[in-house]
Amino acid sequence: MSNQQILYEITVRGVLDMSWQDFLDGLSTTIEGENTILSCSVPDQSALYGIINRLRDLGLELIAIERKESE
């Protein structure tokens, strides 16, 4: 089993301001047009699903999830 973290970019509809930072638990945010891109490194897919569930619970609309390749 690998200890390597996998980087994902998750796009949600809407512009999230800094007041969301506490709810996003350390995810970095980038605003792109009318959407917000959340960047996170996770050890496995179960951790990714945990983040997706948290976004659902916050009522955020998921637009895309993209796995980024390690350099």
pLDDT at position 4 over 70? yes
Distance CA 5, CA 17 (A): 27
Of the CATH numbers 3.10.20.30, 3.50.30.30, 3.30.70.980, 3.40.605.10, which one belongs to the domain with range 6-68? 3.30.70.980
Distance CA 40, CA 16 (A): 16
H/E run at residue 50? helix 45-57
pLDDT of residue 63: 97
pLDDT of residue 30: 92
CA distances for 64 relative to 33, 37, 59, angstroms: 14, 9, 15
Helices H, strands E: what count in the chain?
2, 4
The string of pLDDT tens digits covering residues 11-47 is 999 999 888 888 888 789 999 999 999 999 999 999 9
pLDDT at position 1 over 60? no
pTM recorded for the entire structure: 0.86
pLDDT of residue 59: 93
